[in-house]
């Protein structure tokens, strides 16, 4: 480990390594380091920008672990017309749905002012899509769901209309939806795509490129008439009404 000394090529910032290991986000790591809540090889580190080798032992102090347990994660059933991230002219961001009036169910916890601080969307839905949208203060969860090596499934119900001359999407094109398409020259990971009924497909993806499903459908001659996310990992939208939200309980897995 080194402080202000120039690091060798084999070292990297402690906060980056903590993020890569899934201990917390880089922002959270910097906060914990500044407060003296991080140990490297058994020693407290307080200097931001500290460089370490990739094989060091990293642990968090009890105060940091306790704080992580209090981090809030919220599920929203986003309606069409709301944007997931920053507000756009004429449209409202979905985070504004998270208020006292819209909380669903008889939950033990009620919304506190601090619950909205640092709350970030995980896996966006475009303005014309609806369904399960997650907001969380927990950088570890964000990495788990949308990180580069994420294995978390995202399930969507997509209502489509086939524009081709065959009358119905050929099996060969359905196979392409499952594997073989690319977006902007980058091959897509294998997906699971199957018919639910005559005009609805189920898509299960492990990635989430911008407007990916719409672009996939366009490439095989399908027009998307409706798109709804119903599951992320083990977390299903369930009976949560449109426009309502609830806290994720401690015993729920994603």
| CB distance 39 to 45 below 8 Å | yes
The whole-angstrom separation of Cα 156 and Cα 70 is 30
| CB distance 83 to 129 below 8 Å | no
Annotation says 126 is catalytic:
yes
H helices present in 4-89, as ranges: 14-20, 26-34, 62-69
The whole-angstrom separation of Cα 133 and Cα 251 is 19
Burial class (CB in 10 A: 0-12, 13-18, 19+), 68: middle
The whole-angstrom separation of Cα 68 and Cα 23 is 10
User: Which residue among the candidates 55, 115, 126, 128 is catalytic per the annotation?
Assistant: 126
Other C-beta atoms lying within 10 Å of the C-beta of residue 212:
18
No. of helices (H) and no. of strands (E), the chain: 6, 18
Could you tell me which residues are beta bridge partners of residue 200? 159, 197
DSSP 8-state symbol, 105? S
The residues that are catalytic are 126
């Amino acid at each position: 480990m080194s402080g202000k000394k120039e690091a060798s090529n084999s070292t990297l910032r402690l906060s980056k390594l903590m993020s890569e290991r899934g201990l917390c986000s880089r922002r959270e790591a910097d906060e914990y380091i500044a407060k003296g809540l991080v140990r490297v090889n058994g020693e407290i580190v307080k200097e931001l920008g500290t460089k370490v080798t990739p094989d060091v032992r990293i642990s968090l102090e009890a105060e940091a672990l306790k704080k992580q347990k209090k981090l809030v994660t919220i599920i929203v059933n986003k309606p069409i017309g709301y944007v997931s991230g920053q507000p756009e002219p004429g449209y409202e961001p979905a985070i504004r749905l998270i208020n006292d009036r819209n909380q669903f169910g008889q939950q033990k916890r009620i919304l506190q002012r601090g619950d909205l601080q640092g709350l970030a969307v995980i896996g966006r839905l475009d303005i014309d899509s609806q369904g399960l949208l997650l907001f969380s203060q927990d950088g570890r969860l964000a990495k788990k769901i949308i990180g580069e090596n994420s294995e978390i499934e995202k399930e969507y119900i997509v209502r489509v209309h086939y524009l081709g001359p065959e009358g119905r999407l050929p099996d060969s094109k359905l196979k392409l939806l499952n594997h073989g398409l690319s977006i902007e020259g980058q091959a897509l990971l294998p997906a699971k795509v199957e018919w639910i009924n005559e005009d609805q497909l189920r898509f299960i993806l492990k990635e989430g490129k911008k407007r990916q499903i719409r672009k996939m459908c366009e490439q095989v001659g399908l027009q998307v008439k409706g798109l709804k996310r119903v599951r992320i990992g083990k977390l299903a939208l369930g009976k949560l009404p449109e426009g309502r939200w609830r806290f994720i309980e401690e015993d729920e897995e994603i």
